A and B are shown apart, each in its own frame.
Chain A
Amino acid sequence: MVSLGELVELRTVVGETQTIDGIRVTPESQAFSVRWPHGGFVWHRPVAVVVEQDGVESRMRIPDVTRLMQLGLLLLMAAGLGLVGWSVRKHR
């Protein structure tokens, strides 16, 4: 857990283990919270599930494909804008 006193906190949250057909599934998530005197903000996202089957434990990540695609497009835009800005300065 990372925290800046009581104002900002980033922590991993481990959920309740579910047993499904002999398979133990434990969800993990990450919660980022900001607290100020008259308000607050919480961003809570799933991160992984820990699966225990036949005595073997494995951690399966939960990819946020939508967010990754959004970030990819944003980076592409930033790279494109940087390239265009550079070519404009070069032309001058």
Chain B
Amino acid sequence: MAEEESGFVVSEVADFGDGRDLLERLFDVAEPGAVFSEPVEAGEHTLIMASEAVVSLGFGYGFGAGTAGPEAAEADVASLEPGEVDEPRRGRGGGGGGGGYSGTRAVAVISAGPEGVKVDPVVDVTKVVLAFFTMIGGFLLLLGKMRQAMKG
């Protein structure tokens, strides 16, 4: 049975620089060695697992700043004590976040031994069965609509 590892990643990004660093790590998946495992010796054979990897990532951040509106500014001025200097009220805030998805799926096992090199595909039965039931569901849905259309 094929091994599958997948998950969702949620991380907090302190600033745009952090976001860029996280993004660059995403593209490490496109580097050599990301989908082929290190060789593993099993008896007379050496095995290399070939997998498919899908990774996606998105992040965003926002920052805002502003000063008090005219009414608030007037109220501030009105409330000043003699000799006090008016300083406009300012406010600011910001935040950021990121999330992503990573999934891997075994595709084949490459084995090297006395008889040479072989590539043995790995079939994920679960995914095939799900695709089959999706197909059946699609047919049943359309058959139902077709019957309605013929009655109407």
Q: Which residues of chain A have a CB within 8 Å of any CB of chain B?
A: 11, 13-16, 18, 20-21, 23, 25, 27, 29, 31, 33, 35, 38-46, 49, 51, 53, 60-66, 69-70, 73-74, 76-77, 80-81, 84-85, 88, 91-92
Residues in B with CB closer than 8 Å to A44 are 29-30, 34-35, 52-54
CB distance from A45 to the nearest CB of B (A): 4
Q: How many cross-chain pairs have Cβ atoms below 8 Å apart between A and B?
A: 160
CB distance from B26 to the nearest CB of A (A): 5
Do B56 and A60 have beta carbons less than 8 Å apart? no
Asked whether any CB of chain A lies closer than 8 Å to the CB of B9, the reply is no
Residues in A with CB closer than 8 Å to B54 are 41-44
Instruction: Out of B26, B112, B138, name the residue touching A42 (CB < 8 Å).
Output: B26
Query: How many B residues face the partner with a CB closer than 8 A?
Result: 55
CB distance from B149 to the nearest CB of A (A): 6
CB distance from A5 to the nearest CB of B (A): 15
Give bound CA distance, A23 to B57, whole Å: 39
CB distance from B23 to the nearest CB of A (A): 6
Residues in A with CB closer than 8 Å to B50 are 27, 29, 46, 62
Asked whether any CB of chain A lies closer than 8 Å to the CB of B128, the reply is yes
CB distance from A61 to the nearest CB of B (A): 8
B29, B31, B117 pick with most chain A CB within 10 angstroms: B117
Residues in B with CB closer than 8 Å to A21 are 46, 112-114
Do B108 and A63 have beta carbons less than 8 Å apart? yes
Residues in B with CB closer than 8 Å to A11 are 30
Do B55 and A64 have beta carbons less than 8 Å apart? no
- Additional A-B contacts beyond A13-B30, A27-B36, A46-B35 (11; CB < 8 A): A25-B110, A29-B36, A40-B56, A42-B27, A42-B29, A42-B30, A46-B108, A53-B117, A66-B122, A73-B134, A88-B149
Instruction: Out of B55, B107, B142, name the residue touching A62 (CB < 8 Å).
Output: B107
Do A60 and B23 have beta carbons less than 8 Å apart? no
